[in-house]
Chain A
């Protein structure tokens, strides 16, 4: 069974940093691109970033470029999101999402990031 378990969310002040982690199990982690998708309270879904199988290719939504960095450790079956210079508008649930031929076939339960201004 595919499992994606996020951790690392919490309350942080504006301008601060946070590192999210996602522990993957139940599938060959290094065979899949991986994504981060977020959802602000009461709002819709926003794709944030993704990373290819070996970590050499990364894409970001414009609003986080230069502030967020996605990475992975295939030996640990883990995905990460380093978030710097956080803003109030980054407040959201962050989901770790498996990529399957570019669509999103498995989602974690999410971790809540709250940025206080």
Chain B
């Protein structure tokens, strides 16, 4: 099983600041990496797929980078609607696995 590890567990950010979230895989997942956002009481939603491709309707302030085992999600200027929990997920191997999540909260 590919273990996905996210850091930090919690990120406190002021609106307008940059947020950088990290995700590490226990073995290479190539470019088979997605990011999801979950707001309280809601289902997760797709943000980024294939490491750096934004899903439909996702604003350009969200960007993804990395390859192999190290990945980053960057929010260039955090807006109030961006607060929530972010999960990375690999789809290179079975079972599909998620990181434990990074909670982005208001500073």
Contact = CB atoms under 8 A, between A and B. Distances in A.
Interface of A: 35, 44-47, 50, 59-62, 95, 100-110
B43 A109 contact: yes
B39 to A, nearest CB: 12
Interface string B27-52: 00000101010100011111001100
Interface residues of B, number: 23
Q: Interface SS of chain B: helix, strand, loop or mixed? A: loop
Given A61-B95, A102-B32, A104-B36, A95 B46 contact: no
Given A45-B38, A109-B42, 14 more contacts: A35-B96, A44-B87, A44-B98, A45-B98, A47-B89, A47-B98, A60-B95, A61-B95, A62-B95, A95-B43, A104-B34, A104-B44, A105-B55, A108-B43
5 contacts: A45-B44, A45-B87, A62-B95, A104-B34, A108-B43
A104 to B, nearest CB: 6
A46 B98 contact: yes
A47 B96 contact: yes
B30 to A, nearest CB: 11
Most buried by A among B38, B42, B43: B43
Interface of B: 32, 34, 36, 38, 42-46, 49-50, 55, 87, 89, 91, 94-101
Most buried by B among A44, A60, A110: A44
Contacts of B34: 103-104
A105 B55 CA distance: 8
B49 A103 contact: yes
Contacts of A62: 95
A38 B101 CA distance: 14
Given A44-B87, A104-B34, A110 B95 contact: no
